[in-house]
Structure 1
Amino acid sequence: MTHSRTIELIAPSGYPPDPASVERALLRLREAGHRVDGIDAVSRRYQRFGGTDSERASDLNRLADRAYPLPDIVLAVRGGYGAVRILSALDYDGLRQRLSNQSVALVGHSDFTAVQLALLARAGLVTFGGPMLAMHFGAETPSAFTMAHFWRALSEPAFTLEVDSPQEECIDVSGTLWGGNLATLVSLVGTPYMPQVDGGILFIEDINEQPFRIERMIYQLHLAGILARQHALVLGSFSGVKAYEYDNGYGLSAMIEHIRSVTGIPVVTGLPFGHIDDMVTLPVGARAHLHTHAGGFRLSVEGHPYCA
């Protein structure tokens, strides 16, 4: 049984194109006993964004105001593009002072990765890669898997994810779990908003990117020296990939094998995370232990915000 939560909506990127999905999400959350605040975030429009840069930054900066009541969950309305435009306007010191050691869960994925990595790099805050209001909570039929894992991740001090997906090699490593959307992550390389993680477990996903583009972005992480500092690279979903005759046998599998040979670090496949219906919720910046075997892998995490 899920306890009643106060959920604050934010729109750091785009606006929701389907009002019906928003209405379904709001109705479901309220019927489940949750209080939903920040409703204006779903109706704001400025060009292709969910409000002006100032409005979207204010969604997050108000959490640094000690006079502002903290919600239990801060939930991104959707992804898209626009988060990178507000990174320089965020109050990292204020957010660190207000949110450190609090149980507040900031949740989203896709373009929200920019905010998550910036908060980790500049404020040391652990957030959650997970479902968003319009796509998941507002789906015509929400995924029971996604919802169950979401509430579990936010309600327990530690949890373990078991994935039945054959692996090429067996590893047993521990480190900081971090990552998110690949294109967004790569766009932060060389900026003050890219976390400097040593001995980490890096997870990535993307949508509508062809294998050669995925490889090129992974190469950037490799050539920048970021992959060499990680214990493992964990691949989530890369949905929307299309096969073309020009590829001549080069696809995701060939790309992954090449990355394995070039980077020299373990590459784990099959993580149910990304632009998919059935997705797990992962703490970005938490402590993790990853154990792989021939039949799959086990990922255990702890040290994230939770509210029992």
Structure 2
Amino acid sequence: MTSLTLYTPSGVLLKAAPARMAAKRLSALGFDVSIDEAAFSKQQRFGGDDDTRLEAIHRVATSAPSIAMATRGGYGLTRLLDRLDWKKLKRSVDRGTRWVGYSDLTALQMGLLAHTGAPSWCGPLAADDFGREALDDVTPDCFCEAMSGELEAIGFRTEVGFDGLQAKGVLWGGNLTVLTSLLGTPHWPQVKGGILFVEDVNEHPYRVERMLLQLHQAGVLARQKAVVLGAISDWKPSPMDRGYDMKAMVAQVRSVTKTPVLTGLPFGHVSTKVTMPFGRPVTLLVEQRNALLGW
């Protein structure tokens, strides 16, 4: 049976029920689930103080379960990046641990790739996904197939204009706000010729544009084979927009970079999401509006 450990490296779990529901559902899917001893710790908005969360990550790395799944995102991992024992995390990956998550987990995934070159997995969080009252079929099916090794590609519909696109490179990226906060730090992996994907939540299109332009002006976008946008969810229009929306934002970013910018990746702070590798070579193929990301 595949071992799976739930731990809390970032934001606080206000209630234990969603994480316990996630453990129950994951167990029903055939995983041998354990919950880290500090998973329900609380300190301000965090899942325990910094030392507690740091020790939890190191404890999980030492035990090296098949899967390490964060209970939720939020904020908190950036505080720990300078203190994480990256070699310990790398040894866990070498022993077979797959670190899974998104949102604030972007910081851990980026740091792991930057410091050790080790891959991880972008996929669901325990409480935020498996702990939902209504769980769709796609998210758990995709996760289980990815963890079993059966899943080798994901497909999605994108916009017109990219028919015939073929690109190969390392898949990397994640939450755009977390991503840009790491630019210029030691925790930023120097990926050239990669496939960069981004997602975000509660960020207005102008803020998304500003962050993508920051990556463009820093030379990051130009070094990639393609940029793929996931869900930019839960933002609210402003009376100041006057027609400026997500579509206008994407058009503006496309106007300043030669790197293809695709949309439609089913990933981010949405109820239905795929699971895909982080820091591993992938191939992106587009036929008409059908995009395929394979590894």
Q: Would you say same fold, with TM above 0.5?
A: yes
Count, aligned residues: 294
Query: Which of 277, 281, 284 is residue 290 of structure 1 equivalent to?
Result: 284
| Aligned equivalent of 2:75 | 81
8 A Cα contact 1:15 1:77, kept in partner: no
C-alpha displacement at 1:157, in angstroms? 6.7
| Aligned equivalent of 1:239 | 233
| Aligned equivalent of 2:15 | 18
8 A Cα contact 1:9 1:41, kept in partner: no
Whole-Å separation in 2 of the counterparts to 1:163 and 1:191? 33
8 A Cα contact 1:290 1:300, kept in partner: yes
| Aligned equivalent of 1:168 | 161
Q: What is the 5 A alignment of 1:7-86?
A: 7-65=4-62, 68=63, 70-86=64-80
Q: 1:153 to 1:31 in 2, by over 3 A?
A: closer
Whole-Å separation in 1 of the counterparts to 2:219 and 2:272? 32
8 A Cα contact 1:167 1:269, kept in partner: no
Whole-Å separation in 2 of the counterparts to 1:248 and 1:242? 13
Q: What is the 5 A alignment of 1:195-274?
A: 195-274=189-268
C-alpha displacement at 1:246, in angstroms? 1.0
Asked whether 1:149 is paired with 2:146, we answer no
Query: Is the partner of 1:116 in helix, strand or coil?
Result: helix
1:56-112 per-position Cα deviation (integer Å, ceiling 9, x unaligned): 1122223554xx4x2111010100001100111111123223422x33211110011
Query: Which of 113, 124, 130 is residue 120 of structure 1 equivalent to?
Result: 113
Whole-Å separation in 1 of the counterparts to 2:138 and 2:10? 26
Whole-Å separation in 2 of the counterparts to 1:50 and 1:63? 15
8 A Cα contact 2:162 2:289, kept in partner: no
C-alpha displacement at 1:121, in angstroms? 0.4
Query: Is the partner of 2:24 in helix, strand or coil?
Result: helix
Q: 1:98 to 1:72 in 2, by over 3 A?
A: closer
User: Where does the alignment leave 5 or more consecutive residues of structure 1 unmatched?
Assistant: 302-308
C-alpha displacement at 1:158, in angstroms? 5.8
| Aligned equivalent of 1:280 | 274
Whole-Å separation in 1 of the counterparts to 2:119 and 2:186? 17
Whole-Å separation in 2 of the counterparts to 1:167 and 1:193? 35
Whole-Å separation in 1 of the counterparts to 2:146 and 2:218? 32
Given residue 126 of structure 1, which amino acid in structure 2 is its aligned partner? P
Whole-Å separation in 1 of the counterparts to 2:3 and 2:202? 34
Whole-Å separation in 2 of the counterparts to 1:23 and 1:94? 28
Asked whether 1:93 is paired with 2:90, we answer no
Whole-Å separation in 2 of the counterparts to 1:245 and 1:9? 42
1:164-195 per-position Cα deviation (integer Å, ceiling 9, x unaligned): 33332231010000010000000000000011
Q: 1:157 to 1:143 in 2, by over 3 A?
A: closer
8 A Cα contact 2:227 2:260, kept in partner: yes
Q: CA RMSD, aligned part only? A: 1.5
Given residue 5 of structure 2, which amino acid in structure 1 is its aligned partner? E
1:135-185 per-position Cα deviation (integer Å, ceiling 9, x unaligned): 111111212100011111111176111213333223101000001000000
1:219-254 per-position Cα deviation (integer Å, ceiling 9, x unaligned): 111111111100000000000122222111111001
